[in-house]
Structure 1
Amino acid sequence: MATPRRWRNCATVASACTGCGPSSRRSPDDLKLCASAALFARVSPPGSVFHQLLERYSGNRPDQLTLERLSADCGHVAQ
């Protein structure tokens, strides 16, 4: 699956943002960012910008609910 260029560009900007970082509050935007990063990291090579986003904004912990939904849809065990 090729990741759309727009998503890669947005992820690159978000991971390079200064003054941004993990939030103690989990706003809907924070949750959407981590869920999207988890989804695209799952189909991207290690070290991708999506992995960098997960590392920066969620302590390198992919969104568990996203992984569970992927597993349910695909019949695989979440990692």
Structure 2
Amino acid sequence: METLKPSAFGLSLAVITAIVMLLLGILGNLGIYTGAVEMMQQWHIFFSPSIGGIVAGMAEAAIISFVFGYAFAFLYNKLL
């Protein structure tokens, strides 16, 4: 079986979640997916519909995703 590269796996998750947070912030400002924006404001400390809040939410989501993705790939390789 193939092993996962933890840093690559974590980085790919970080990029994906940052893009999703950017899209969610933009669409929230356009009045689309306002329910999802409200949920993200409750779940993420730094996310808000402002430009600074979107960037901070992107950074927060990227860091959290990288840490969990790296840990997942590391444990996957150890258990493999």
Q: TM-score range by the shorter chain?
A: 0.3 to 0.5
Larger gyration radius, structure 1 or structure 2: 2
- TM-score normalised to structure 2 length: 0.34
Higher relative contact order (CA 8 A, sep 6+): 2
- TM-score normalised to structure 1 length: 0.34
